[in-house]
Amino acid sequence: MARGWARSGAAAIILAALVPGAPALAQSAGSESASIQTCRAPAPAAGTTVSGPVLHVIDGRTLCIAQGPTPERWIPLRISPTLAALPVDRERLMAAAFSRSLTCRIAGGGPVRTATCTLAGRPLGALLAQPATITQAKTWR
């Protein structure tokens, strides 16, 4: 799979800003519906592993993994239910994952698949719980 277009975080941020029809940053109600509209790539099968930069965060549990430069190639994923006990808001997920490359193992679900994700080999849940991520989330706009 060619991912050269997304090798740098800066490229991902610029790409997200320049893509026509890029999603609005604030969407909270109806996150599954919003993610399907924003991230339009077909849901991968359970057991599949996908990697790519996070180019959109819908809410505290739902994000888009890019497989190409346009929303038609962005996969909507809901982060693992094991993180449900951890209070995560959109800002914290943005601070931990936006423009960074995640590797996610698809667990299953409907049009928005649930997945267990890692960032540079570290569980996403561990990053979300770090004091530095919590502090950074408070300043995220």
**Dist. CA 23–CA 20, nearest whole Å:** 9
Q: What is the pLDDT of residue 8?
A: 40
Angstrom distances, CA of residue 53 to CA of 85, 116, 131: 25, 15, 23
Residue 40 confidence (pLDDT): 92
Residue 104 contacts residue 117 (beta carbons within 8 Å): yes
pLDDT in tens, the chain (141 residues): 444 444 444 343 333 433 434 333 333 345 555 555 789 999 899 999 999 999 999 998 999 999 999 999 999 999 986 665 667 789 999 999 999 999 999 998 787 899 999 999 999 989 998 999 989 999 876
For the question of whether the overall pTM of this predicted structure is more than 0.85, the answer is no
The pLDDT score that the predictor gives to residue 15 is 39
Measured distance CA(80)–CA(57) in Å, rounded? 15
pLDDT of the residue at 49:
97
Domain 4-139 has CATH 3.40.50.2300: no
Q: Give residue limits of the domains in the chain.
A: 4-139
Q: What is the pLDDT of residue 80?
A: 81
- Say which residues have a Cβ less than 8 Å from residue 68's Cβ, sequence separation at least 6: 5, 41, 74
- CB–CB of 59/27 below 8 Å? yes
